[in-house]
A = this chain, B = another copy of it.
Amino acid sequence: MTDTNAQSVNSLAQLVAGTVIGNGDVLIERIANLDIARENEIAYVDGEKFFESAQGSEASCLIVPREHPDLTSHTLIEVDNPKLAFSIIGAVLHPPKHREPSVHPAAHIAETADIALTAYIGPGVCVGNYSHVGAATRIEAGVVIGDNVVIGADCVIHPNVVLYDGVTIGDNVILHTGVCIGADGFGYVRDRMGYHKFPQIGTVVIEDDVELGAHTCVDRAALGRTRIGRGTKIDNMVHVGHNCDIGERVVIAAQTGISGSVVIEDDAVIGGQVGFGDHTRVQSGAVIGSKAGILPGKIVRPGVWWGIPVQPLAEYKKMNAHLGRLPQMRDEIKELRAEVEKLRKRLAEE
């Protein structure tokens, strides 16, 4: 979805510390999948099972692991991690959309707001009082930014994102369409008449290098702050409740729901449609399978977890095996019954 910037195999190889085999002067315009890549395109070979398709590929260049069979028909770039190299090369050949620094005349910028000269502000964007937009940050159409918001440098804020008052966004953050940061947490006190809103006057901090998928919501803390740590990647329609503390390099798949005051430590990996009760803690090194459910207050230790309520994958599998044997257990009980009956009769006869 971006202009391509053709480069030689040699210069691409340099980007990824790769070794060129063959003609390094070949010009590459685009990345492509192994099976459909054509002239001037580069593909990657992600392990042994793709060696055969690699032979027949029409790509002008292949990114291959250091150990590979003879592929002399192609120009190659040998690297340690072909998929990673492909990603790095893809980012260079297909750089994100460029916007000339400018503030669209139909944007609504508060007089006290501070917009970097190199930022792009699209049509219909609102920026509130005392808010700051950093250098080279791109704010697309329809984004609404409240008062006292800080947005770092090199961010991409896609259309119709909403940042409530007082929220802080780091550098190099990508927020997809409809992301909502800083809406009130869900907290009430019940009295005789009904529910009274518990104050939601804290804030949200999104650290550097975070990417949030479309329509993901991160609620403001009641008091204090909700945090998404550096380098964390969150998919579409994830709910992050008030006062959560999500660590660095955490990955969370789509539609997962995280109740209030949950702590997820660095490098955890969370599947899709997982549900977290409040005040749970996920320790660094934990991997939680999709659709799992975690009861309030639970501590999830390192390892792979599964099920509702969540349990170690090994135990989950054992339990499932037991369940699978239920019909057999039933039959065994029936047999035993018959056997015992027979024995009793024989004893009675004697």
Contacts and interface: CB of A to CB of B under 8 A. Distances in A.
A152 interface: no
Query: Which of A159, A195, A336 is the most central at the interface, judged by chain B CB atoms within 10 Å of its CB?
Result: A159
A129 B239 CA distance: 34
A274 to B, nearest CB: 9
Contacts of A203: 1
A172 to B, nearest CB: 11
Contacts of A97: 147, 165
Interface of A is mostly: loop
A257 B272 contact: yes
Please tell me how many copies of the chain the complex holds: 3
Interface stretch (A7-15, A19-27, A48-56, A119-127): A119-127
Contacts of A308: 291, 308
Interface stretch (A57-65, A87-95, A297-305): A87-95
26 contacts: A1-B201, A87-B196, A91-B197, A94-B201, A97-B147, A108-B124, A142-B160, A144-B177, A162-B177, A178-B180, A184-B211, A186-B236, A186-B254, A188-B233, A194-B209, A197-B211, A215-B215, A217-B237, A237-B237, A239-B255, A275-B290, A318-B327, A329-B333, A336-B336, A347-B347, A350-B350
Given A94-B199, A214-B217, A350-B350, 15 more contacts: A1-B147, A87-B199, A141-B144, A142-B144, A144-B159, A158-B183, A159-B162, A164-B177, A176-B180, A180-B236, A194-B249, A214-B219, A257-B272, A319-B323, A343-B343
Interface of A: 1-2, 31-33, 36, 81, 83-84, 86-88, 90-91, 94, 97, 104, 106, 108, 122-124, 126, 140-142, 144, 146-148, 158-160, 162, 164-166, 174, 176-178, 180, 182-184, 186, 188-189, 191, 193-199, 201, 203, 209, 211, 213-215, 217, 219-220, 223-224, 231, 233, 235-237, 239, 241, 248-249, 251, 253-255, 257, 259, 272-273, 275, 277, 290-291, 293, 308, 318-319, 322-323, 325-327, 329-330, 332-333, 336-337, 339-340, 343-344, 346-347, 350
